[in-house]
Copies of this chain bind each other. A is one copy, B any other.
Amino acid sequence: MKLKPLGDRLIVKAVEEEATTASGIVLPDTAKEKPQKGKVLAVGDGKLDDNGQRQPLDVVEGDEVLYSKYGGTEITVEGEDLLVLRESDVLAKVTG
């Protein structure tokens, strides 16, 4: 990955809908704010708290996550459509 996100940001690649049926997670279109599933390609070092301490993210490279799509910024790297998100856009980690 040629990009190192800054602060509390991360870069994800969306996992196509069909793949989700394998792990059972389907994201209904009707949902007001349609969440999306994707793979984490890179994470930032985290924000500094009030005492200047770095707060690492709760997700790491390789995690599969569920996130609200409308917070991110779209980019394309070597033909791949990616999304730059903030950690607060991530709802949950897919563990199973």
Chain A residues packing against B (C-beta within 8 Å) = 1-7, 9, 11, 23-28, 30-33, 35, 42, 44-45, 48-53, 55, 58-59, 65-66, 68, 73-79, 81, 84, 87-88, 90-96
Contacts and interface: CB of A to CB of B under 8 A. Distances in A.
B96 A2 contact: yes
Contact of A92 (B3, B28, B31, B92): B3
A27 B8 CA distance: 21
A38 to B, nearest CB: 14
Nearest to A89: B6
A35 B84 contact: yes
B84 A91 contact: yes
A66 B75 contact: yes
